[in-house]
């Protein structure tokens, strides 16, 4: 099933990871509409731009350069806003006016440069864009190359396409819950067999990280524990005053088996199901469903897809 895809990111419209994935999806026959931030928006979380107009632009030159199949729709747009702004504009009417020929069945956010593991998912613009799409009822996947040592996205594209191929057995029609017409009344059952429904309705989404050197194997795992030390640096600011810079001099991943951090350290691509809503929300996922969602099959993929 070659379903239509909404593609966004937080690295910006000119990101190589975004463009290479868009080209690969086009080559596979997926209609693709890209709506990404005009500039890099890393670590902005779920930031929204309020009370300010955001410029919207189509980039036909990018589409022409990355397109490989002329008969498969591919449109490329940018928005001068955050990743979540892009998703909201795309889903809530913006693209209906500009690209009505493409109605997405899946949102993919990425491919991000750098890991989005453990606590990173709370700050990441990449993960937040996927979560925003899921909140609107669109099945979603965030993708990151979990290293800064290189910018070769070929293995990350390959891993992403494998996950999408597996999802094609689950995503067989238009999203039934887009824009949440029934609010919280449309809720899957608490039976472990309903995991796919939780994903399709946008109450759960997937976070994929690919290691620096990937050997082709996956692990479906929960989040691990990652700690940032010496995260602020005080700078002298001329002529007088002090400025602070937020970063991290040292990052430590705890070696906890069968977690996303551990999977990346061992060379596996890590697939982590994430809840879209807080657990005490009416659509919060029961703990038993979350635990069952991280059970992998013989290939390391989620057993439920």
C-alpha closest to that of 145 among 205, 207, 211, 83: 211
What are the structural domains of the chain? Answer: 5-224+255-293 (3.40.1210.10)
Return d(Cα 254, Cα 167) in angstroms, integer: 30
**Residue 170: predicted pLDDT:** 97
The backbone region for 9, taken as left when phi is positive above 0, alpha when psi lies in -120 to 50, beta otherwise, is: beta
> Which secondary-structure segment (H or E) carries 125?
helix 125-135
C-alpha span between 279 and 288 (Å, rounded): 12
Q: How far apart are CA 282 and CA 104, in angstroms?
A: 26
DSSP letter assigned to residue 254: -
Residue 10 near residue 126 (C-beta atoms within 8 A): yes
* Contact (Cβ atoms closer than 8 angstroms) between residue 108 and residue 5: yes
Q: By the 8 A CB rule, do 83 and 97 touch?
A: no
- Whether the pTM exceeds 0.85: the reply is yes
Q: Look up residue 90 and give its DSSP letter.
A: I
- Cα separation, 18 vs 89, in Å, equals 18
pLDDT tens track, the chain, 305 positions: 799 999 999 999 999 999 999 999 999 999 999 999 999 888 888 999 987 889 999 999 999 999 999 999 999 999 999 999 999 999 998 889 999 999 999 999 999 999 999 999 999 999 999 999 999 999 999 999 999 999 999 999 999 999 999 999 999 999 999 999 999 999 999 998 999 999 999 999 999 999 999 999 999 999 999 998 876 766 666 666 666 566 656 788 898 999 999 999 999 999 999 999 999 999 999 999 999 999 999 999 999 99
Structure tokens at 184: 């919280």
DSSP 134-201: HHTT--EEEEEE--SS----HHHHHHHHHHHHHHTTT--SS-TTTT-TTGGG----SSGGGHHHHHHT
Q: Which residue in the block uniquely carries the two structure tokens 């955050």?
A: 82
Spatial separation of the C-alpha atoms in residues 98 and 119, rounded to whole Å: 36
- State both tokens at 55: 């410029």
pLDDT at 42: 86
pLDDT at 242: 63
CA distance 287 to 305: 19
CB of 200 within 8 A of CB of 170? yes
Cα–Cα nearest to 222, from 274, 266, 267: 274
Predicted local distance difference test score (pLDDT) of residue 234: 62
Give the distance between the most distant pair of CA atoms in the chain. 64
| pLDDT attached to residue 241 | 62
CB neighbours of 82 closer than 8 A, spacing ≥ 6?
A: 10, 37, 41, 44, 47, 48, 49, 125
């Amino acid at each position: 099933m070659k379903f239509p895809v909404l593609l966004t990111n937080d690295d910006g419209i000119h990101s190589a990871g975004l463009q290479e994935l868009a080209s690969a999806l086009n080559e596979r026959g997926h209609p693709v509409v890209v709506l990404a931030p005009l500039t890099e928006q890393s670590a902005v979380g779920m930031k929204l731009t309020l009370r300010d107009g955001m410029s919207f632009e189509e980039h036909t030159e990018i589409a022409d350069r990355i397109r490989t199949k002329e008969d498969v729709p591919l449109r490329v747009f940018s928005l001068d806003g955050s990743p979540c702004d892009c998703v909201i504009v795309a889903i809530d009417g913006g693209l209906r006016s500009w690209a009505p020929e493409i109605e997405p069945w899946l949102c993919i956010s990425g491919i991000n440069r750098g890991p989005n593991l453990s606590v990173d998912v709370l700050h990441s613009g990449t993960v937040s864009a996927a979560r925003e799409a899921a909140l609107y009822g669109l099945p979603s996947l965030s993708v990151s190359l979990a290293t800064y040592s290189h910018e070769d996205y070929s293995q990350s594209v390959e891993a992403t396409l494998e996950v999408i191929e597996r999802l094609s057995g689950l995503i067989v029609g238009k999203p039934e819950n887009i824009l949440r017409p029934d609010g919280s009344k449309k809720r899957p059952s608490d039976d472990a067999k309903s995991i796919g429904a939780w994903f399709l309705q946008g109450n759960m989404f997937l976070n994929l990280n690919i290691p620096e050197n990937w050997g082709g194997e996956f692990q479906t795992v929960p989040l691990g524990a990652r700690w940032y030390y010496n995260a602020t640096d005080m700078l002298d600011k001329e002529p007088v005053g002090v400025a602070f810079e937020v970063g991290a001099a040292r990052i430590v991943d705890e070696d906890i088996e069968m977690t996303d951090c551990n999977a990346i350290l061992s060379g596996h691509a890590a697939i982590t199901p994430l809840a879209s809503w807080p657990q005490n929300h009416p659509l919060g996922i029961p703990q038993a469903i979350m635990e069952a969602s991280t059970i992998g099959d013989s290939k390391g993929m989620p057993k439920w897809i």
